[in-house]
Structure 1
Amino acid sequence: MIPAVLPTYNRAPLAFTKGEGSWLTAEDGTRYLDLGAGIAVNALGHAHPALVATLTEQAGRLWHVSNLYRIPEQERLAELLVENTFADTVFFTNSGTEAAELAIKMVRKYWYEKGQPERVEIVTFEGSFHGRSTGAIAAAGAEKMVKGFGPLMPGFTHLKFGDHDALRAAVTDRTAAVMIEPIQGEGGIRTLPDACLKGLRDLCDATGALLVFDEVQCGMGRTGKLFAHEWAGVTPDIMMVAKGIGGGFPLGAVLATEGAAVGMTAGSHGSTYGGNPLGCAVGAKVVEIVAEDGFLDAVGAKGARFRQGLEGLVASHPEVFEGVRGQGLMLGLKCKATNTDVVKAAYAEHLLTVPAADNVIRLLPALNIADEDIAEALARLDRAASRVKADAA
C-alpha cells in the first residue's frame, strides 16, 4: 500500500521536533549537530531570534494579499537586493525551481523582443542542478532526473564540466544564454575557477549571449561573499536565488539587469504566492543580517577554520577521505569510502551531513555556526570516519 506521503524520497529514519542554532532535537530527545542546514536553507540556523520576531510580527499583521496590489514588504526586499547586487530589478518566487523557470522564460523573451525569436538555445553543464520542474530537468539533462519524464523541453545544449574547447564551439552568436552554478552543490561541490567565470563573461559579451548564474545554493553569504560570483569580479545578466534568502521560509527570486528583463512586461509572468508579505518580511531581515558589517568576514574566517580541520581529517583518514572542496561554508569532503556510508556513520555520532554526486558529502552549516560547534563537528566527523574504517575491516 502506498503511504500517505508520496514515496519520492529515501528518508533517513530521523524526525526532529525542535531546532536551536546549529542543533536539532529528535523525537527521542537526542540532540544532533546540523551541518546540512536544510540543504543550505537555514542560513542563520534554527529559530534565529530576529527571524522569529519578524515572522511573528508580520504574521500578526498580514500574510497574503496577492500581486494584484502593491506589497511594501516585497518592495523593501527588492530594494535591498538591488542595493547590494548587480541587479536593477527582482521577481519573487517560492523556490529555486520557480526561479529557474522564470530565468529560462526571461532569456527567451529577451531574444523575442530583440527580433530574434529563433535564438532560444541555452548552454548548460554536466553535473548541474536547477530544480525538478520539466524545464529545470531539461536544462540539467541528467539521466537520473529526466528518465521517464519525456518529451523534454527542447533548446538546451549540455556540455561536460570544464571542457573549454566544447564551450567555445557551442557558444556562438546564435546562442541565447549560458546558465551555470558558480559552485555546483548537488554535483559535488565543484567550484568553477574565477578565471573560468571571467572567461564566460567575456565569451557572452563577445557573442551577445546572456549569462545566467544559478546561486540558489551557493548564494546568500555561503562562500563569504553575498554571492559567489563576486569572488571573480564579474556579474551575470540574470541570477536565480532561493534557499538561504528566506532563512527557512520558502522564498526565491530572479535578479536581473534592466536590459535582460526587457521582455518581462505586465502579464508575461506571475505567481500567486510569490513575494507575499510574510515571506518578504523574513527575507528582508535575512538580507539585513547577512549584509551587516563583519558578517561575511566572519563566514570566511569560520570557513577557513573548518577547512583547515577537514584537511587534517583527510590526512588522518586517507582510507575514508580523498580531499576537501568548496569555499567559505559551502564545503565538501570527497570520499574514498562510499559517501552514504560516511553519512550513516555520522548519524551514529549524532551529526547531520548531506550526500552529493561524485562521492562527496556536503557540509553546509548555518553561516553563524559557533566556533565550538565547528570543533565539535570535526570531532564527530573523526569518530564517524573511524566507524567507517572499523565496519570495512
Structure 2
Amino acid sequence: MSFKTISVIGLGYIGLPTAAMFASRKIKVIGVDVNQKAVDIINRGEIHIVEPELDMIVHAVVSEGYLKASTTPEPADAFLIAVPTPFKKSDSPIPEPDLSYIESASKAIAPVLKKGDLVILESTSPVGATEQMSAWLAEARPDLTFPQHNGKESEIRIAHCPERVLPGHVIRELVENDRVIGGMTEKCSSRAIELYKTFVQGECVVTNARTAEMAKLTENSFRDVNIAFANELSMICDKLDINVWELIKLANRHPRVNILQPGPGVGGHCIAVDPWFIVSKTPNDAKLIHTARQVNDMKPEWVINKVKVAIADFLLSNPTKSVKDVTIACFGLTFKPDIDDLRGSPAMMITSQLSKLHLGQVIAVDPNVDLNMIDTVAIVDFEYAQNEADIFVLLVDHKEFKNKTFTKTNIIDTRGVLQ
C-alpha cells in the first residue's frame, strides 16, 4: 500500500466515519477540523455526532494510535476534503453555492502538499468545483504541477469522489456502496481507486470530475422531484378528502409505480440543497427541478396553516378556552427518522415557527435529540406531551412513535404515523 498517511479535512457526519474506516485498516489517519471541541472529543476516543457503530470504531482506532485529530493539516499521501458547501447569504430566489469552505481547506493543505500526493474533493459540490479547487491549489503551490495544466503528467492527482451514504447506515454503506470516481485524468482516477479500495467493497466506477459532481446532484434531485410529487399529492388529497397514504399504497401496487411518502417538507444537507446547485448553474433549463424545490420548500407553511385550522376547530369545541390555553406538541425535530441530525430540518422549522406564532405553549418530543430546550420550545417526554397537549403535530416518523398509542383526536399527521 502506497498510502502510509491519509488526511481527512472536515470531521463531520461524513469526514469522521471516512477517517475511522481508513484507520480501521491500520493506516495512519490525521483528521483535521476547525472545531477545537470536536478535535478534543475525538482525541479522547469519543464522537461528537450520533451514528451507529461509529463510537466503537473511533474508540478502537484512537486507542491503537491510527487516528488522531488536529486543527492544523500535516503532511500526508492523500487528502480528502469533506467540508460543508452551504449557500451564500442572498435575497436571490435561487441560492448560490458557497465554496469558501472548500477554498479554505485547499489553502490550508497547500503548504504541506508534496509531489505524488492525491487530493480528493468529497464535499457535494456544483459542477466545476473540483477544477476550481485544483486552481486554488495551483495558485498556492506554483512549484508543483496540476492536472489542469499538465494533464496525466501532473505531480498532484485531483479527483471528485462524492459520498453516497444514508445517515444511520453510514458505516455499512461506506463499505458496501458503489463509489463514483471522477478523476481529472485517468491517472488521477486510478490513484483514487487505489485509495478507496482500502475498505470499499462496492464497485469503483470511473468517470470525469464534472460528471461525478453532476451524478451526486442528479441522485438527490431525482429524490427531491419524487418527494415533491408525493407532497403535492398530499395537498391535493387533503382538499379532496382522500387518504393520501391509502392512495399511494394502492398506486404503488402497479408494477412500474413507486411513489415516495409525503412529509412536512425536505431537509438535511443533501436533498434540500443539491438541486439548487443545478438550478443555479442552469436556471433557464432546470424548470422541473426548480419547481420541485419550490413545492417542497412550501410544505412547512402548509403544515403550519393546518395547525392554525386545528387550533380554530379546538376553540370552537371548547368555547371556555382561549388561544393562550391551547398547548401544541410537535413530535419529531430531526430531518429524518431515527437520527439526531437537525440540519435543514422542516420539522425543526415548523416547530420554531409555531413557537413564534402561537400565543400558547409549544412543546416538542424527540427521543434522539439530547437537549432540554431549543429556542423557546421545551423538549419533553412522550407521556408529558400526551397529558398536557391539546393538539398533536406528527412531523417525524421515529420508530418510538410508531409503537405508541396517541390519545388525542386533534392530530396533524404529516408522516402517516397513524397509518
Compare the two structures and name the one with the higher helix fraction.
2
Larger radius of gyration: 2
Q: Normalized per residue, which structure has more strand?
A: 1
Which of the pair has the greater relative contact order for Cα pairs under 8 Å at 6+ separation?
1
Task: Identify the TM-score tier after normalising by the shorter chain.
Answer: 0.3 to 0.5
